[in-house]
Amino acid sequence: MRIITGATGFIGRRVVERLRAEGHAVRGISTRTPPRPEDLEGCDAVIHLSGEPVAQRWTPDARERIRASRVEGTRALVAAFRPGSPSVLVSASAVGYYGSRGEEILNENASPATDFLATVAVEWEREAQNAEKLGVRVVRLRIAMVLGPDGGALERMLLPFRLGIGGRIGSGKQWMSWIHREDLVSLIRFALDNPSVRGAVNACAPNPVTNAEFTRALARALHRPAIFPIPRFALKLLFGEMAEIIFASQRAIPEAAVRAGFEFRFPEAGAALNDVLMSLRARSSG
């Protein structure tokens, strides 16, 4: 039995589909109320993906929801574990752990930043890591921007590009780490089944791109121009402090996953975007 939190989310629902297609029993649970040991009875693995959306204005209430859903939610989940059950916890974290680091190449040994999201990620991972005291193998997935056909960041980007008014953000020189959703689901499966995989794992494709490169690849995939750069002040007006994560430069690489033998189906951004857009066209025509 595999237990999953966030089972109805953009990532979680695809994980559930894949596991069930492979013949696994899967049960979703909520962390909005503290899980009980009986909620986890009979499970051998837990996949923890739930959390308040980050893409919103960071009012004081929103900041607390973001932190509590991850930190306190993970604490409550681990409190329901019993020694040896489950045997593995694959817990989401985020590349926001590293903050904005310019040109620096970030493997899993890079130090954390001290901004709001980084601080949340550090606490989030610490709560997950506490399961190790119970003999649980813990994998902390630092997830990058996820590309998929029915949600996530790409869904919000498509409209302006389709209208021909998309463009780079600011200078476009900031690095973007990303991963195709199918590769992320495969990496979660890989982490579940490989005892050698533990600790921090960057869940990102091996070829990060600059924002300008990503913009050009998306425009090519949509056969649209990308000539209208989005100024920093406009995003600050729209999103407030949250806009800083849009300008953050994170050049993360999946060193731990590659070292463990994981192979990416979509290592290049152009091919990943073409695949996602082809899936969208197939859905709209079907």
pLDDT in tens, 12-46: 999 999 999 999 999 999 988 899 999 998 899 99
Give the model's confidence band at 2: pLDDT under 50 very low, under 70 low, under 90 confident, else very high.
Answer: very high
How far apart, in whole angstroms, are the C-alpha atoms of residue 119 and residue 100? 13
212/166: higher pLDDT? 212
For residue 276, what are the contacts with CB-CB under 8 A and spacing of at least 6? 147, 148, 149, 154, 180
Alpha helices in the chain, H assignment, sequence order: 12-21, 60-79, 116-129, 152-162, 181-193, 211-222, 232-239, 243-247, 255-260, 269-285
Q: In this predicted structure, what is the pLDDT of residue 226? A: 79
Tell me if residue 146 falls in helix, strand or coil.
Answer: strand
Q: In this predicted structure, what is the pLDDT of residue 160? A: 80
Give the up-direction half-sphere exposure of residue 205: CA atoms within 13 A in the CB hemisphere: 24
Q: What share of the chain in percent tops pLDDT 70?
A: 99
The DSSP call for residue 83 is T
Q: In this predicted structure, what is the pLDDT of residue 285? A: 66
For residue 274, what are the contacts with CB-CB under 8 A and spacing of at least 6? 221
The DSSP call for residue 44 is S
Residue 56's identity, in one-letter code, is Q
pLDDT digits (tens, 9 = 90+) for 121-133: 999 999 999 999 9
pLDDT digits (tens, 9 = 90+) for 206-244: 999 999 999 999 999 988 887 778 877 777 776 777 777
Q: In this predicted structure, what is the pLDDT of residue 241? A: 77
How far apart, in whole angstroms, are the C-alpha atoms of residue 205 and residue 110? 17
CA distances (Å), origin 25, targets 20, 43, 164, 232: 6, 9, 45, 47
How far apart, in whole angstroms, are the C-alpha atoms of residue 11 and residue 30? 15
90/85: higher pLDDT? 90
**Does residue 77 carry a pLDDT above 90?**
yes
pLDDT digits (tens, 9 = 90+) for 242-258: 777 888 999 999 999 99
How far apart, in whole angstroms, are the C-alpha atoms of residue 122 and residue 273? 30
Average pLDDT, the chain: 92
How far apart, in whole angstroms, are the C-alpha atoms of residue 83 and residue 40? 12
Q: Which domains does the chain have, with CATH numbers?
A: 2-285 (3.40.50.720)
Q: In this predicted structure, what is the pLDDT of residue 38? A: 92
Q: In this predicted structure, what is the pLDDT of residue 286? A: 57
